[in-house]
Amino acid sequence: MLCGRWRRDRDGGLRADPKTSFPNQAAQSGGYMTRIAVASPAILPGDAVGRDVLHMGRILREQGHEVELFCTTWGKPQPRNERDLHIRDFLADDPSALLILHHAIGWPHAVPVIAAAKCRRVVKYHNVTPARFYEGLDPEYADLCRRGREQLRTLIAHNCDLYIADSPFNRNDLLELGADPRRCTVIPPFNDLENLLHLGPDPEVLQDYSDGCTNLLFVGRRAPNKGHRFLLDAFAVYRQHHNANSRLVLIGRGEPKQEKYTQSLREQVSRLGLQGHVIFVDSVSQAELKAFYQCAAVFVLASEYEGFCVPLVEAMALRVPIVAYGAAAVPHTVGDAGLIWDKPDPFVLAQSIATVVSDAAVRRQLTERGWRRYRELFTNQRLQREFLHALHPFLAPALGSARRTA
């Protein structure tokens, strides 16, 4: 896969520093192809947007197209430049080329890149968290969120060829800002579940958390929109009224500039008397993540704002029942595969957790529904079919197609 990261050059443009370069098989074999630039502010390990970018690049390259990935922040160390490529040079003002822009946060290059492109343009919209969650905590990040919302309006005004939303909730954002519904479609983000399903769980995590204590699990960034405070309140109610032999495992990193939020959560844990019963885990390997899912009795989500929420799909695929507050995109993602409540009431959430833990029939029904929903809607094979179908009008016949029709 060809990966690059953008950096500023003297004329204010963006250049890609390729990490790895492979000759395009279709071009060498005389097959047809489309030149495709996939752009995102960042490609970070474990990040849902970065994962979506990487899968898109892999799929399009496997179809025989020439693909470059561009970003300003790459989550792994980069080698010395092998070559220097300007995005405009790569697209070469070729009207048959394709630019795919991933939009999830304010980015100074987003609108200029779309505006300058002479080719077909696609925007993948992952949603932008409202700035209100970060005001007073991280003003810089709040400003990025505000800019992301403003830029979305401008990206829609540019009337791109296609807008892909992660969820119906995100599609509604696009429509409310004036996007042509005929140019909007919904395709969930790609995931790494095929690997996770076949991976062995970490034995140490299995041993440590298979001690007879009921494990409640949440996976997601330690960020204000994720509803940790509400979740801690609900867990305190659950321990007091339903099951004192329980723990809450919170997996996900916080941003260094948002350390006050982490500190406030630790203070809340102390205030509620939950010391030793709430486990903060900053980061995990894939094997450790699988082990935590396997040890979990319930996946609990109290988030106030989600554009999709990939961990919900992970819970479905790994057969962990879901209890959640149904804010934003959560009801669309979960469907009938969880107990979803439309009010953030800690007593209701605690009672729902207790029902799932104590009632084997309910637990079995939810896990079966979750597995079925994952298989029907969220496997990468299905997402790949939907993705290639959506892009079909913009892609030249690739190598495989050329061979079949020769």
- Domain ranges across the chain: 6-190, 193-378
- For 344-357, what is each residue's pLDDT tens digit? 999 999 999 999 99
Instruction: Please tell me if the domain spanning 6-190 has the same topology as the one spanning 193-378.
Output: yes
* DSSP symbols for 234-292: HHHHHHHHT-SSEEEEEE----GGGHHHHHHHHHHHHHTT-TTTEEEE----HHHHHHH
Higher per-residue confidence, 131 vs 25? 131
For the chain, give the mean pLDDT.
90
Q: What is the pLDDT of residue 74?
A: 80
Whole-angstrom CA distances from 302 to 169, 278, 344, 345 are: 17, 15, 8, 10
Amino acid at 14: L
List the beta strands (DSSP E) in 313-357.
322-325, 338-341
Give the CATH class of 193-378: alpha beta
Q: Inform me whether the pLDDT recorded for 79 exceeds 50.
A: no
Q: Tell me, rounded to whole angstroms, the distance of Cα 336 from its chain centroid.
A: 21
- Residue range 21-41: mean pLDDT, rounded: 66
Q: Is the pLDDT of residue 401 over 50?
A: no
- CATH fold for the domain made of 6-190: Rossmann fold (3.40.50)
Torsion of CA 133, 136, 140, 142, to 10 degrees: 20
pLDDT tens, position by position, 183-200: 999 999 999 999 999 999
pLDDT value of residue 396: 80
Burial class (CB in 10 A: 0-12, 13-18, 19+), 207: exposed
Q: Pairing state of beta strands 35-39 and 278-281?
A: unpaired
Query: What is the C-alpha to C-alpha distance for residues 221 and 171, in angstroms, rounded to an integer?
Result: 23
The phi-psi region of residue 46 (left if phi > 0; otherwise alpha if psi is between -120 and 50; otherwise beta) is: left
